[in-house]
Amino acid sequence: MKSHRPLAALALISLAAMSLAACASITAGPVGNPAVPQPAKPVDLKRYAGLWYEMARYENRFERNCDAVTAAYRALPNGMIEVLNSCHKGFVGGPLKVAKGRAKLVAGSQDAKLKVSFFGPFFGDYWVLDHADDYSWSIVGEPSGRYLWILTRAAKPDAATRDILLSRVKTLGYDVRLIRLTAH
């Protein structure tokens, strides 16, 4: 008589995988760019490091209801990059939420692609799609087209800069109707 344990285990693993996939599709936002372009130019990590203010983003579950959002990047001696994200929940003066993570460079990407993790061994894509030559702004996405961040060095960039960035994002193929401006 044959044992059915290997088949039962395989069925359980398949069910778990389908459940995780279903949960991921429920919590993921809409695809705002079905054809995310490759990064436009190399990134100088020394110049990219430091404090960035989120000007706008595609809403996502981990930043829901966040304002006064910042991201700080710092090179670590082991070659990794420390990532420190913060936001105020509910409104600009709301309770502070901080997430500390780490990032590693993707080989062959001219430092424009990173893998970022905020928990455990799970890493997500972080692509610097474009940036100003003086590193005063950056447009960040990832391959699924569900996530987008527009970062600036100024908490409140002037109207001309905002217009240029929104136009640039549209040129990259993103649906600007999905963009949520971040209050600071």
CA-based nearest residue to 151, from 23, 31, 14, 52: 52
Q: Long-range contacts made by residues 123-129, C-beta under 8 angstroms, separation at least 24?
A: 127/36, 127/38, 127/39, 128/39, 128/43, 128/48, 129/36, 129/37, 129/39, 129/40, 129/172
What sign results for the dihedral spanned by CA atoms 10, 121, 126, 101? positive
Exposed e or buried b per residue across 126-135, where buried means at least 16 C-beta atoms within 10 angstroms of its C-beta: bbbbbbeeeb
- pLDDT by residue (tens digit) across 103-112? 999 999 999 9
DSSP assignment of 40-89 equals SS---HHHH-EEEEEEEEE--GGGTTEEEEEEEEEE-TTS-EEEEEEEEE
- What is the model's pLDDT at position 11? 31
- pLDDT by residue (tens digit) across 122-142? 999 999 999 999 999 999 999
In a domain, 107, yes or no: yes
In a domain, 124, yes or no: yes
In a domain, 49, yes or no: yes
Structure tokens at 169: 């994002």
pLDDT at 79 over 60: yes
CATH of the domain at 96: 2.40.128.20
What distance in Å separates the CA atoms of residue 170 and residue 162, rounded to the nearest whole number? Answer: 12
- pLDDT by residue (tens digit) across 2-17? 555 443 332 333 323 3
Structure tokens at 97: 């939420």
In a domain, 34, yes or no: no
Kind and range of the H or E run holding 102: strand 96-105
Kind and range of the H or E run holding 160: helix 159-171
In a domain, 23, yes or no: no
CA-based nearest residue to 55, from 151, 159, 163: 151
pLDDT at 25 over 90: no
In a domain, 95, yes or no: yes
- What is the model's pLDDT at position 59? 96
In a domain, 92, yes or no: yes
DSSP state for residue 34 in the 8-state scheme: S
In a domain, 106, yes or no: yes
Range of the domain at 128: 45-181
Q: How many domains does the chain have?
A: 1
Q: What is the mean pLDDT of residues 46-67?
A: 97
